[in-house]
Amino acid sequence: MYLAGYLAAILIGISLGLIGGGGSILTVPVLVYLFGTDTVLATTYSLFIVGITSLVGFITYIRKGLVNFKMGIFFGIPSIAAVLLTRKYLVPAIPAELFHLGTFVLTRNMLLMLLFSILMIFASISMIKKKKPDADRMKSSPIPLFSVCLQGIGVGTVTGLIGAGGGFLIIPALVNMLKLPIKTAVGTSLFIISINSLIGFSFSFQSHPIDWHFLLIISSIAIAGLLVGSFLSSRIDGAKLKPAFGWFVLIMGIYILLKEAVFK
């Protein structure tokens, strides 16, 4: 199982480097199912792995001039605030057992994995769906500040709660609402993800015993995958690979949903 976990860590990095998101949503399932990590601890580990990997990717995009810092900060501030509040107040407030129904017990770990599976299914649909060209996209229009702030808060809450970077949420917001070119949106997304995830980790790691040796190994493998993905991004059209990866995420999401809700 560990070998499968290491291979999955490479896939996480490749996805982040190639399409700017998607891979981070696999981090917690990989840690829980392939490495046997406790679910809440896995969300903490995931914040570090996703954060440090995205940071390296962000640096590679800076060198290409594909990061919009103004938009990143504009979108990121409410997102960072949501991460901090979620990790400090919401996650510790979730009880170990939420409710009993006969012999069925909804635990905190089960709830987090169910939320993860639902999020994976929605993420996969957005990756699989082919978007029609928008003729009005190039027209100038006022940026809906309130909507962008809500997007940032939503992404920050997701990042803080279940440890996913939220690139599949950030990139559409940057492209559709802030009118950034897709490659600039990817670089800016990695900037936001790295800040959100590492700040979330800094507010969580003291609450859990951290196996730094294990964490650094997985992070190093993911970073190696990201460098491969960044190299391939200039040679392979990420838009063509995105639907294929989306189908993989969809299958994983359905598997986790069935495992936690039906075959537990």
| 1-37 residue pLDDT tens | 688 888 888 888 887 777 666 666 778 888 888 898 8
List, in sequence order, the alpha helices (H) in 64-130.
Answer: 69-85, 91-93, 108-128
Instruction: Please give the average per-residue pLDDT across 38-44, as a whole number.
Output: 85
What pLDDT score does 220 carry? 94
Mean pLDDT of the chain: 79
Residue position matching structure tokens 């294929």:
244
Bigger pLDDT: 200 vs 264: 200
Which pTM does this prediction carry?
A: 0.74
Sorted by sequence, the CB contacts under 8 Å of residue 157 that are 6+ apart come out as 82, 83, 86, 90
Q: How far apart are CA 253 and CA 70, in angstroms?
A: 34
Start-to-end Cα distance in the chain: 20
Instruction: Give yes or no for residue 137 having a pLDDT over 60.
Output: no
Instruction: Please give the average per-residue pLDDT across 96-110, as a whole number.
Output: 79
Of 113, 80, 107, the residue nearest 199 (C-alpha): 80
Residue position matching structure tokens 């009880």:
95
Q: What's the length of the chain? A: 264
What pLDDT score does 192 carry? 86
- Give the helix/strand (H/E) hosting 6: helix 2-19
Of 193, 156, 149, 150, the residue nearest 171 (C-alpha): 193
Bigger pLDDT: 15 vs 38: 38
Residue position matching structure tokens 């860590």:
9
Number of domains in the chain: 1
Strand partners, 104: 101
Instruction: Give yes or no for residue 157 having a pLDDT over 70.
Output: yes
Q: How far apart are CA 76 and CA 4, in angstroms?
A: 34
What pLDDT score does 21 carry? 63
Tell me the per-residue pLDDT of 200-252, one tens digit each, with 9 for 90 and over: 888 777 777 889 999 999 999 999 988 888 777 777 765 666 677 678 778 87
Tell me the per-residue pLDDT of 70-94, one tens digit each, with 9 for 90 and over: 888 878 888 888 888 887 888 788 8
What pLDDT score does 136 carry? 44
What pLDDT score does 19 carry? 67
What pLDDT score does 12 carry? 81
Sorted by sequence, the CB contacts under 8 Å of residue 42 that are 6+ apart come out as 27, 28, 31, 32, 163
What pLDDT score does 138 carry? 43
Q: For 27, which DSSP code?
A: H
Residue 240: domain span: 2-261
